[in-house]
Amino acid sequence: MRNLIDILDFSTEEIDGLIAVANDIIDNPEKYRDVCHGKILGTLFFEPSTRTRLSFTSAMMSLGGQVLGFDNAASSSTAKGETVQDTIRMVSAYSDIIAMRHPKEGAPIAASRVATVPIINAGDGGHYHPTQTLTDLITIKRKSGRFDNLTVGICGDLKYGRTVHSLIAAMSRYENVKFVLIAPDELVLPDYVKEEFLKTSEYTETVDLEGAIPSLDILYMTRIQAERFADRDEYERLKDSYILDASKLKCAKSTLSILHPLPRVNEIAVDVDDDPRAHYFEQAALGRYIRMALILKLLDTKGVDDRRTDGKEDPTLECRNPHCLTLTERGIKKLFKEGKCIYCDQTAVKI
Ligand code: NCD
């Protein structure tokens, strides 16, 4: 059994395969209409979502399968104090595959260690969001025609933006991809993401969106993630750090692709929507087809996910990431590998 917890769980060849299937689904939807007849997708959303949950639901329905789940933790037994791992044990018995979103980092890994069906990470806190990255990748492939030789600008909340972390992980595997990381000083890319994925890629960091635009092939805008701020005043101060509008695009390449995982708040003015380089609504629409391809792949795959047996207990180490699931989940085994917490990837502290 395979899972999708982190985008690097799939090789670049596997990603090409998913995109090929998604393109075939777009061209021949009738071929796929009943292929998941009798299968059930569990959608466990402990955090708000529009696109991700509905596109997963639409994907499974379009394959002839059915969907069960919840769209908020308050209506699940989490409200009664149930752990993530117990919820997953149960839903594994009621479904054939699970897509889950959780506010704590590492929750999908904890889930995958007890699940008896494939787990898809539909977003874990400010950590990763690999299915958004699949959506981003199919859009990049269809619009730019390639993954290599691209200058990719990523703008906004690079600290808490989980879609950013997964996109960088994915794109760093291709030849001659240059990243331009555009963020206020308070919201720069975390060190653990740089250490994991940017060791061999060229990147620059800047606060200047307008100055960066002319060099870009892709501009990936993101929302400032209000819900992750401990300090509301800081959010208020930073929320309008970047607003992309038509005037800022005057010096952009004619082949630029403007992407956004959505939802947008203020960071893209509506006057950009009619620009032929604005692809974010089409990007969201493509999410349905790439998720159909993903469901088919995971229901079919016999492989093994090493993470299920990864890591060791070590009483001399402690994960101090306040957003890691292991700090709140009762009874969870705290596991480490190469000095890092296996759930959230952050370096553990020696005690
Ligand atoms: C993103 C997310 O949930 O991280 N949304 C999405 O899945 N399309 C981006 C965001 O919420 O800003």
Q: Where does the pLDDT of residue 94 fall: very low under 50, low under 70, confident under 90, or very high at 90 and above?
A: very high
- Which ligand 1 atom sits closest to the C-alpha of 101? 3
The CA distance from 221 to 180, in Å, is 12
Give residue 304's pLDDT: 77
Q: Which of 331, 351, 338, 330 is nearest to 312 (CA)?
A: 338
State pLDDT tens for residues 169-227.
Answer: 999 999 999 999 999 999 999 999 999 999 999 999 999 999 999 999 999 999 999 99
User: Which atom of ligand 1 is nearest the CA belonging to 261?
Assistant: 8
Handedness of CA 324, 259, 135, 289 (dihedral sign): positive
Cβ–Cβ under 8 Å, residues 350 and 342: no
The pLDDT assigned to 169 comes to 98
- Whether residues 104 and 114 share a domain: the answer is yes
Residue among 49, 128, 162, 163 to mutate when testing ligand 1 (max atoms within 8 A of CB)? 163
Report the pLDDT averaged over residues 265-288: 98
Are 120 and 148 in the same domain? Answer: no
What is the CA(148)–ligand 1 centre distance, in A?
Answer: 25
Q: What is the CA(162)–ligand 1 centre distance, in A? A: 8
Task: Name which residue sits closest to atom 8 of ligand 1, judged by CA.
Answer: 261
Q: Are residues 31 and 41 in the same domain?
A: yes
Q: Where are the alpha helices (DSSP H) in 230-340?
A: 232-238, 280-300
Residue 212 lies in a domain: yes
Nearest protein CA to atom 7 of ligand 1, as residue: 52
62 and 162 together in one domain: no
**Is the residue at 305 inside a domain?**
no
| Residue 306 covered by a domain | no
Interval between CA 28 and ligand 1 midpoint (Å): 29
pLDDT of residue 39 exceeding 90: yes
Which two three-digit tokens encode residue 273?
């929507």
Compute the distance between CA of residue 85 and CA of residue 119 in angstroms, rounded to an integer.
Answer: 12
Segment (H or E) for 162: helix 162-171
For residue 90, is it within any domain?
yes
Q: How far is the CA of 349 from the centre of ligand 1 (A)?
A: 30
Per-residue model confidence as pLDDT tens digits over 281-322: 999 999 999 999 999 999 998 777 777 788 999 999 999 999
84 and 137 assigned to the same domain: no
Q: Are 64 and 135 in contact (CB under 8 A)?
A: no
- For ligand 1, residues with CB inside 6 Å are 51-52, 123, 129, 132, 162-163, 223, 261-262
pLDDT of residue 79: 80
Which among 70, 124, 86 is positioned nearest to 321, based on CA atoms? 124
Residue 15 CA to ligand 1 center (angstroms) comes to 20
Nearest residue (by CA) to ligand 1, atom 12, is: 223
| Residue 208: C-alpha distances to residues 56, 166, 211, 244, 342 (Å) | 36, 23, 5, 12, 35
Q: Is the separation of the CB atoms in 118 and 3 below 8 Å?
A: yes
Say if 1 falls within a structural domain. Answer: no
Cα–chain-centroid distance for residue 283? 14
Ligand 1 pocket test, candidate residues 101, 124, 127, 132, most atoms within 8 A of CB: 132
269 plus 317 within the same structural domain: no
Domain count, the chain: 3
Residue nearest to ligand 1 atom 6, measured at CA:
261
Same domain, 142 and 88: no
**44 belongs to a structural domain:** yes
Residue 227 sits in the same domain as residue 317: no
The tokens describing 88, both together, are 């997953």
Closest ligand 1 atom to 157 CA: 12
Instruction: Give the DSSP H/E element, type plus range, for residue 139.
Output: helix 130-144
The distance of Cα 65 from the centroid of its chain, to the nearest Å, equals 24
Angle at which helix 130-144 crosses helix 280-300, to 10 degrees, equals 120
> Of the residues 47, 259, 262, which should be mutated to test ligand 1's pocket, given the most ligand atoms within 8 Å of the CB?
262
DSSP string, 33-98: TTTTTT-EEEEEESS--SHHHHHHHHHHHHTT-EEEEES-GGGSGGGGT--HHHHHHHHHHH-SEE
281 CA → ligand 1 middle, Å: 13
Q: How far is the CA of 225 from the centre of ligand 1 (A)?
A: 9
Contact, 100 vs 108, CB < 8 A?
Answer: yes
Give me the numbers of helices (H) and strands (E) for the chain, helices first please.
Answer: 10, 13
Phi, psi (degrees; rounded to nearest 5) at 121: -80, 110
As a whole number of angstroms, the distance between CA 289 and CA 120 comes to 15
95 with 176, same domain: the answer is no
Q: How many A from CA of 265 to the centre of ligand 1? A: 12
Cis peptide before 263 (omega within 30 of 0): yes
Answer yes or no: is 47 within a domain.
yes
Residues 239, 254, single domain; the answer is yes
Domain that holds residue 80: 7-129+286-300
C-alpha of residue 285 to centroid of ligand 1, in Å: 14
Strands 177-182 and 150-155: parallel
pLDDT digits (tens, 9 = 90+) for 56-93: 999 999 999 999 999 988 878 888 889 999 999 999 99
Atom from ligand 1 closest to the CA of residue 51: 8
Tell me which residue has its CA closest to atom 11 in ligand 1.
Answer: 263
Domain identity same for 292 and 318: no
340-341/336-337 β-pairing: antiparallel
CA of 167 to the centre of ligand 1 (A): 12
Ligand 1: distance of its center to the CA of 51 in Å?
8
Q: Are residues 158 and 275 in the same domain?
A: yes
pLDDT value at 343 more than 90: yes
Q: CA-to-CA distance for 218 and 197, rounded, in angstroms?
A: 19
The CATH number covering residue 143 comes to 3.40.50.1370
In a domain, 307, yes or no: no
Centroid of chain to Cα 129: 1
pTM of the model: 0.96
